[in-house]
Amino acid sequence: MPAPIGIISSGATESYAIVILYDGMEKKVENESLVLIKNKNGGKVLAVCRGGKGINDSLRTGSFTPGVAYAKSRRVPSSVKEYFLFNLQVIGEIVDDKGISQNRIIIAPTSQVEVFDEDDNPMQYLGRSELTIGHYWGRPSWKIPVLKEYINYHIGVFGVTGSGKSYLTRYEIIPLLRKAGYDVIIMDWKGSDYSPYFKSTITFDKIKIDNQTVIKYFGSITKNFGYYEREENPVAAAVETALRQVDWRGKDAHTSRNLVYQRARSIIMNAPGVKEDTKTLQLNRLDASFEQITEEEFERFLGTIEPWEIVAEVREKGVLVIDMSKGIKDQKLAVFTAIVKYLKRLMENKQVLNIALVIDEGPQYAPWQPRGMERETTDIIIDLCALGRSYGLSIIILSQGMAGEIGLNSAVRRNLNTQFIGRIHPLDVEEAQKLAASYYISPETLLTLPEGHFYFLGRMNPSPIPLLISFQIDSTRKDTV
Ligand SMILES: Nc1ncnc2c1ncn2[C@@H]1O[C@H](COP(=O)(O)OP(=O)(O)OP(=O)(O)O)[C@@H](O)[C@H]1O
Ligand SMILES: [Mg+2]
């Protein structure tokens, strides 16, 4: 049963109030405690404590008072004029004891406030969803309901390194996605966060990358084959044609590089209507480029698993991890591009996918200011987000930073309609202040959240204001799937 803790003070509105705590209750009520306000104007209101304050009128500072004099002389002034307050942010009015709606009635001063204890379950007022995520802060039995229909409005998980993003994803988000009927493809950038925990893993160099993406990659390592980006690029075109014409995959790197090089050379030499000195220049650029496109580079693209096979595999296994631990960044981006291009094509053909794509280390793919291959991956993620809302593709992006240099590309971030925000980086304080202003969550709180604690906000959250959640990890739980 909820226990009385205090009454509402003067100045309450329909969305915000202050509770004056009964004597001793300051030891029981904590930041983020959930409370029930029995509004004397009618209705029961669910609210959360955010930001408390201890006040003692004899100890006011700013001018010299007898109390200050007492303190100065190491004596303890009277605590008779001492009391404690908590700000209350309203979640909503409880309707028929089963749901909440926006509270529209002014909360009457002197209304009684009660705190829920472990045995109550105020989460029932947020809806009786089959699907839940983690539990309310400090209350392992209060599972947080989620709104399934917004899963494909995409999810962002933010927090500094070590805040628990990958754990939250592994222990809570992926199982939730499975329950909601999604097959899950995980891009495991580091190869250590997911690969060891799921049965089905593919190392990314086994995956076939389409010729267009290979050309983008070669362009990125050769300064665009010696051409300006907007300029017509006959060398790139020749190499691309060569990649298409010769059967270079599934061979050893030496042979396949040679095949492509020779074919590109002959394409340039036999081009009709091109002046000899222009051809010589093009051949020089081809040779210079192939100094960068070494056998080692070719080695990266000899994979033969087609993107459709990946989709077939995830359909069969439910969860598939792409282990990207070995190899260089642009190669990883190339593999990613190859896979998501295929998903995009399926959606453009109006196929409903019911697939979730987990992208850990999001800024590697879509940073604040994308360069080179990142531009391609950023654009395609934005396209996937838009198509995904109609065709059942959910994108889950993890990032250490929210905004600015350490953050995720802002156009991508705008598409992540549900967010989990853990401990933030000091560089994100400005971003945190925006949250603070809207929801009374102080930037200090966000800067000091313990690992495994996240504010849950956005479309999937049935509560209109963010809720602080956590989750239990079970070290014996090895194979999640
Ligand atoms: N709910 C939890 N309860 C207890 N400990 C946790 C919880 N979640 C995470 N941790 C601890 O925090 C550590 C870091 O978690 P995790 O690897 O998920 O961080 P991360 O945010 O993904 O960091 P990075 O950005 O470096 O990848 C874990 O090794 C684990 O010990
Ligand atoms: Mg991680």
d(CA 98, CA 473): 30
* Ligand 1 atom at minimum distance from 193 CA: 17
Q: Determine whether the shortest distance from the Cβ of 332 to ligand 1 is under 6 A.
A: no
- Delineate the domains of the chain, giving CATH numbers in brackets: 3-121 (no CATH), 141-209+304-470 (3.40.50.300), 211-299 (no CATH)
Q: Determine whether the shortest distance from the Cβ of 165 to ligand 1 is under 6 A.
A: yes
Residue type, 37: I
* Ligand 1 atom at minimum distance from 159 CA: 21
d(CA 31, CA 52): 7
Q: Determine whether the shortest distance from the Cβ of 161 to ligand 1 is under 6 A.
A: yes
Instruction: Report the predicted TM-score, pTM, of the whole model to 2 decimal places.
Output: 0.90
345's enclosing H/E stretch is: helix 329-348
Per-residue pLDDT of the chain (481 residues; tens, 9 = 90+): 889 999 999 999 999 999 999 999 999 999 999 999 999 999 999 999 999 999 998 888 888 888 888 888 998 888 888 999 999 999 999 998 778 999 999 999 999 999 998 898 899 999 878 899 999 999 999 999 999 999 999 999 999 999 999 999 999 999 999 999 999 999 999 999 999 999 999 998 899 888 888 998 899 899 999 999 888 999 999 999 999 999 998 789 999 999 999 999 999 999 998 899 999 999 999 999 999 999 999 988 888 899 999 999 999 999 999 999 988 898 899 899 999 999 999 999 999 999 999 999 999 999 999 998 899 999 999 999 999 999 999 999 999 999 888 899 999 999 999 999 999 999 998 888 887 788 889 889 999 999 999 999 999 999 999 999 999 997 655 445 5
Comparing CA positions, the residue from 326, 323, 404, 412 lying closest to residue 365 is 412
317's enclosing H/E stretch is: helix 307-317
Q: So what's the pLDDT on residue 133?
A: 96
d(CA 312, CA 320): 10
Q: Which ligand sits closest to the CA of 169?
A: 1
Q: Determine whether the shortest distance from the Cβ of 406 to ligand 1 is under 6 A.
A: no
d(CA 59, CA 20): 18
Which residue has the least CA distance to atom 28 on ligand 1? 164
Q: Determine whether the shortest distance from the Cβ of 250 to ligand 1 is under 6 A.
A: no
DSSP sequence for 274-286: --HHHHHHHHHHH
Comparing CA positions, the residue from 237, 377, 250 lying closest to residue 303 is 250
**304: three-class secondary structure by DSSP:** coil
* Ligand 1 atom at minimum distance from 169 CA: 18
User: Which of 139, 144, 166 gets mutated to test ligand 1 (max ligand atoms within 8 A of its CB)?
Assistant: 166
Q: What is the CA radius of gyration of the chain?
A: 29
Q: Which ligand sits closest to the CA of 168?
A: 1
Q: Determine whether the shortest distance from the Cβ of 167 to ligand 1 is under 6 A.
A: yes
Q: Determine whether the shortest distance from the Cβ of 197 to ligand 1 is under 6 A.
A: no
Residue 34 tokens read as: 């959930």
Q: Determine whether the shortest distance from the Cβ of 166 to ligand 1 is under 6 A.
A: yes
Q: So what's the pLDDT on residue 475?
A: 63
Q: What is the DSSP letter of 408?
A: B
CA 164 to centroid of ligand 1, rounded, Å: 3
